[in-house]
């Protein structure tokens, strides 16, 4: 794995961390969708909380995510988080965790840059990663009828790989699991994720994933996640035990 070089720069109102082998330089405009639109480098976007924009970056395609709050409090604070210091800024924490997971050769996006901007006692945050080529969310593949039995097994064994490394994912859902055209599994969105000692959180993680898949099945026309599908996933999970 190539040696990566971390740089940190101050920008008006905040700071940016970036990987200088992936980005020629960084500034606030590199996090702006308008910048890529005006340069004809906009590719598209994906929905969900904190819409992700896909752009042509300095070195391949990038995914830019603006952090949004969810739940009840998100109705008022939207994209603002309480400031508790630079090391606890969500974008910086996720960027550093992704670097650690890449070092452990886990299938996660390559982190390019992270930014926070202060707004009094609060801050906003953004993250840029390398877009995973040919990959789509498990939820999308379900809607398209493109999930085979072997894919369920692959997802289960993939989740187990993360758990064996002590990786806690705070929002393990069918939307954050990607499957590429070769059938390989990748995991996205490590906001509030961390490395933990083994414990009951592993089963809670699996239960969260099952609830997500059942919800997708109940709310998406033409999608049915069966008990047999879930058992195939669990067999994949147990295959690494």
Q: What is the CATH number of domain 135-238?
A: 1.10.510.10
pLDDT of residue 78: 83
Tokens linked to 191: 């906001």
pLDDT of residue 1: 45
Q: What share of the chain is helix, strand, coil (3-state, %, to 5)?
A: 35, 25, 40
Q: What is the pLDDT of residues 22-47, one digit of tens each?
A: 998 899 999 999 999 999 999 998 86
In percent, the amount of the chain with pLDDT more than 90 equals: 86
Task: Look up the pTM and report it.
Answer: 0.92
Is it the case that residue 77 has pLDDT exceeding 70? no
By annotation, the residues acting in catalysis are 171
200 — pLDDT class (breaks 50, 70, 90):
very high
Domain locations along the chain: 6-130, 135-238
């Amino acid at each position: 794995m190539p040696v990566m070089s971390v740089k940190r720069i101050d920008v008006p109102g905040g700071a940016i961390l970036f990987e200088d082998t992936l980005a020629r330089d960084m500034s606030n405009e590199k996090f702006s969708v308008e910048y890529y639109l005006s340069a004809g480098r906009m590719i598209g976007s994906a929905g969900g909380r904190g819409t992700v924009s896909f752009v042509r970056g300095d070195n391949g395609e990038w995914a830019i995510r603006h952090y949004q709050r969810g739940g009840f409090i998100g109705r008022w604070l939207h994209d603002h988080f309480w400031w508790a210091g630079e090391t606890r800024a969500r974008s910086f924490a996720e960027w550093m965790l992704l670097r650690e997971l890449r070092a452990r050769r886990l299938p996660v996006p390559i982190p390019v840059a992270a930014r926070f901007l202060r707004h009094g006692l609060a801050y906003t945050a953004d993250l840029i990663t390398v877009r995973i080529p040919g990959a789509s969310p498990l939820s999308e593949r379900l809607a398209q009828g493109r999930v085979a039995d072997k894919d369920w097994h692959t997802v289960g064994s993939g989740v187990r790989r993360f758990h064996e490394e002590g990786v806690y994912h705070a929002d393990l859902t069918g939307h954050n699991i990607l499957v590429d055209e070769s059938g390989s599994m990748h995991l996205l969105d490590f906001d509030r994720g961390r490395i933990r000692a083994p414990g009951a959180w592993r089963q809670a993680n699996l239960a969260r994933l099952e609830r997500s898949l059942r919800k997708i099945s109940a709310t998406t026309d033409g999608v049915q996640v069966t008990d047999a599908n879930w058992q195939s996933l669990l067999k994949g999970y147990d295959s690494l035990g």
